[in-house]
Amino acid sequence: MTTDPRTMDKIVSLSKRRGFIYPSSEIYGGLASAWDYGPLGVELKNRVARFWWREMTQLHDNIVGLDASILMHPTVWKASGHVDNFADLMVEDTVTNERYRWDHLTEEQREAKTSPNGNPLSEPRVFNLMFSTHLGPVQDSSSTVYLRPETAQGIYVNFKNVVQTSRVKIPFGIAQIGKAFRNEIVTKNFIFRTVEFEQMEMQYFVHPSEDEKWFSTWKAARMEYYESLGIRPERLRFTEHGPDELAHYAKTAYDIEYEFPFGWQELEGIHNRTDYDLSRHGEFSGKDLTYLDDQSRERFIPYIIETSAGLTRSVLMVLCDAYDEEEVGEGDVRTVLHLHPRIAPVTVAVLPLVKKDGLAERAREIERELRDDYATFYDQGGAIGRRYRRQDEIGTPYCVTIDYETMEKDTVTIRYRDSMEQERIAVADLANHVRSSIKSYKRAAL
């Protein structure tokens, strides 16, 4: 029987205990809303990024990658509208001094001007979310630079470079993964909303007459992506931004939301940004950012369809979605992460049943052979059942056990994390067997 045991406490505690995520600078008491990715966390995060990158670049002829720097010319942020518009309205509980985002309060709280604690609120104050710093030794307004609050602008200012130096033709996309920074008023829920985070963005440049067609194409494709990552469809939904919620650049916007243990929240934004960004950068830089269609000879400013997902937020989402506690025998419960094999930090654990009689040496040899293609882990300590459980808890999809039969017949057992079923296969077939199992992986309904 499976219950729904999702709670943030359990996920935070598993993350710490097994080395996925630690509080930043913990020995000094931590830094609010900053987190460090431990040995398993960095593998998971890199693999989620890799999964996205494969999906958004490798599987398309017309999407190319980019890695722009975090610090950019300050005029970028004037042109983009972030200096003037990238602000939240902040209010303070006049008794407890707790801060809230105005748009996160309920309508009743906003009308009554009371905090969630029922205390009077201060007047709303505009608060720009960009972190600024200074370039060079002189700290005056002319040296101010910003830590980018989104990766997208790095793509827009390189539009011309990419068109001139690669063979892309409209419609085409530029994809990028990187850090972004926002001085968030309220950070909570573990790594859900942090001041330093990573985004995975793909900006798709289209002819203005085709914006709606491409918007719906990407909207559908992005939902399919989450399903291909093994995320439960019933925990995913779209919500459309109403006219008063639209960002200053957007014509249409949908969020893909996930049902976290703390409620439905945004995972990714899909926006029709029109020709706003390229027009503004053209205007502020004085450069011609139009595109010439060499067939029709038409010159135009492309529209941009943006898909903007949080990488670190996706890590939280996959942990929440994968986490389960399952009754596996009388009074026996296993904690398991049903991670898609493509993103699991360890793909194959290799376990000798016992250390003696050459089993450990043979297991090491098999593990070394698999290493070339898969993230492997070798563990010879303790009862085999306990070793399986340790791998279940970190989401390892395959455990390979070396026993006495291995020594005689060169076969091993492979144990599948989700079903806990075991199968005997020849060592010679192992690598291919794992490959086809990963390819055909489908998460069982829970």
Chain contacts with ligand ATP (rule: CB under 6 A): 150, 182, 184, 193-194, 197, 199, 266-269, 308-310, 312-313
Least Å distance, CB 123 to ligand ATP, is 21
The pairing of strands 125-128 and 132-134 is unpaired
149's CB contacts (< 8 A; 6+ apart) are 82, 86, 129, 130, 131, 180, 181, 182
Residue type, 85: N
In whole angstroms, how close is the CB of 209 to ligand ATP at the nearest point? 26
Min dist CB 197 to ligand ATP, Å, is 4
Residue with Cβ nearer ligand ATP (253 or 412): 253
Q: Least distance in Å: CB of 180 to ligand ATP?
A: 7
For ligand ATP, the closer CB: 121 or 267: 267
Q: How far is the CB of 181 from ligand ATP (least distance, A)?
A: 9
* Min separation Cβ 416 and ligand ATP, Å: 32
239, β-bridge pairs: 255
* C-alpha to C-alpha distance for 225 and 276, rounded to whole angstroms: 27
Q: Between 131 and 300, name the residue whose CB sits nearer to ligand ATP.
A: 131
Distance CA 50, CA 58 (A): 10
138: left (phi over 0), alpha (psi -120 to 50) or beta: beta
The distance of closest approach from Cβ of residue 269 to ligand ATP in the complex, given in angstroms and rounded to an integer, is 3
Cβ-based nearer residue to ligand ATP, 255 or 403: 255
Q: Smallest distance from the beta carbon of 293 to ligand ATP, in angstroms?
A: 30
In the bound state with ligand ATP, the residue whose beta carbon lies nearer, of 77 and 291, is: 77
Q: Among residues 149 and 397, whose Cβ is nearest to ligand ATP?
A: 149
Min dist. Cβ of residue 242 to ligand ATP (A) = 13
| Number of neighbours of residue 236 by Cβ within 10 angstroms | 18
Tokens (6 digits) for 361: 């040496």
